[in-house]
């Protein structure tokens, strides 16, 4: 069985001895690795329907791993997980708006878990904004390639504060491309941030050719470009000093 680097990166976010629940588990590859490598004493797998969950059951059968039947649960989001039942919650491969909806469906329950391991497919900035406003600390940022995509993994933990006033609007580029990127591997950051810079440059050129006054929008895009360029410059310096390991 050949698994992607994204799957292994998610697996490595769970520390030895921590129990976990994988929400929307699909094939159950992350739980399989956690059980097979004896990282977690218990892993609960949840999915929306019996048919969806059957893929995880098949994965465990193929791997020759036995777990209690109750560790496979048909449930919607966190509905089938009891407060504090596990240490870590894993939600991967869904859009950020869906992840936020799951976390926000029962905020008290969500805060009962030690750690959230989240991998949004898109709109990651909205997820970071939600976590900050609702009193979570992002303790680790990870970039990992999967095919032509650069996947983001956000590891967060509840803080002592349940709500905070943000200093930036939700649509700020700093939520989508956080300063934490300065400490990640340059190869991955340059791919993700470099693509956005190229996109901004193309948009600015198109706007300059408009018959209408687009100076205000161009100014905003130039500010965003400067911010992204500063991340790349700092990242390059950090990596040249051997600091680009992520944290």
Mean pLDDT of all residues in the chain?
Answer: 95
60 backbone dihedrals φ, ψ, rounded to 5° = -65, -35
Nearest-5° Cα angle at 62, 59 to 63: 85
- The pLDDT of residue 121 is 96
Terminal-residue alpha carbon distance, the chain: 29
Nearest-5° Cα angle at 144, 142 to 148: 145
Can you tell me the mean pLDDT for 9-26?
98
Can you tell me the mean pLDDT for 154-178?
96
Closest CA to 228 of 202, 192, 203: 192
pTM for the structure as a whole: 0.93
- The pLDDT of residue 246 is 47
DSSP one-letter code for 166: -
Segment 97-137, tens digit of pLDDT: 999 999 999 999 999 999 999 999 999 999 999 999 999 99
- The pLDDT of residue 211 is 87
Can you tell me the mean pLDDT for 32-41?
98
Whole-angstrom distance, CA of residue 244 vs CA of residue 100:
29
Can you tell me the mean pLDDT for 13-22?
98
Segment 206-236, tens digit of pLDDT: 999 888 999 999 999 999 999 999 999 999 9
Kindly indicate the confidence band of residue 247, based on its pLDDT and cuts at 50, 70 and 90: very low
Kindly indicate the confidence band of residue 2, based on its pLDDT and cuts at 50, 70 and 90: confident
- The pLDDT of residue 1 is 73
Can you tell me the mean pLDDT for 9-29?
98
- The pLDDT of residue 82 is 97
- The pLDDT of residue 243 is 57
C-alpha to C-alpha distances, 90 to 6, 51, 138, 149, 219, nearest whole angstrom: 13, 20, 14, 20, 39
Segment 38-62, tens digit of pLDDT: 999 999 999 999 999 999 999 999 9
**Does residue 199 have a pLDDT over 80?**
yes
- The pLDDT of residue 110 is 98
């Amino acid at each position: 069985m050949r698994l992607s680097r994204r799957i292994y990166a998610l697996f490595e976010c769970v520390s030895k001895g921590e129990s976990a629940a994988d929400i929307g588990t699909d094939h159950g590859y992350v739980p399989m690795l956690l059980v097979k490598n004896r990282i977690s004493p218990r892993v609960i797998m949840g999915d929306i329907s019996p048919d969806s969950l059957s893929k995880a059951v098949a994965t465990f059968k193929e791997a020759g791993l036995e777990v209690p039947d109750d560790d496979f649960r048909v449930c919607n989001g966190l509905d089938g997980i009891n407060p504090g039942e596990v240490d870590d919650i894993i939600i991967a491969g869904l859009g950020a708006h869906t992840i936020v909806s799951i976390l926000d469906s029962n905020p008290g329950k969500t805060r009962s878990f030690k750690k959230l391991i989240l991998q949004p497919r898109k709109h990651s900035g909205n997820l970071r904004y939600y976590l900050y406003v609702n009193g979570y600390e992002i303790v680790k940022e990870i970039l990992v390639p999967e095919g032509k995509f650069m996947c983001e993994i956000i590891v967060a933990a509840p803080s002592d504060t349940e709500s905070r006033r943000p200093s930036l609007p939700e649509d700020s580029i700093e939520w989508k491309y956080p300063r934490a990127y300065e400490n990640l591997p340059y190869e991955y950051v340059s791919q993700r941030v470099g693509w956005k810079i190229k996109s901004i440059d193309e948009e600015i050129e198109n706007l300059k050719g408009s018959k209408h006054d687009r100076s205000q929008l161009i100014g905003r895009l130039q500010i965003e470009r400067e911010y992204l360029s500063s991340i790349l410059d700092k990242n390059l310096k950090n990596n040249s000093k051997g600091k680009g390991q992520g944290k």
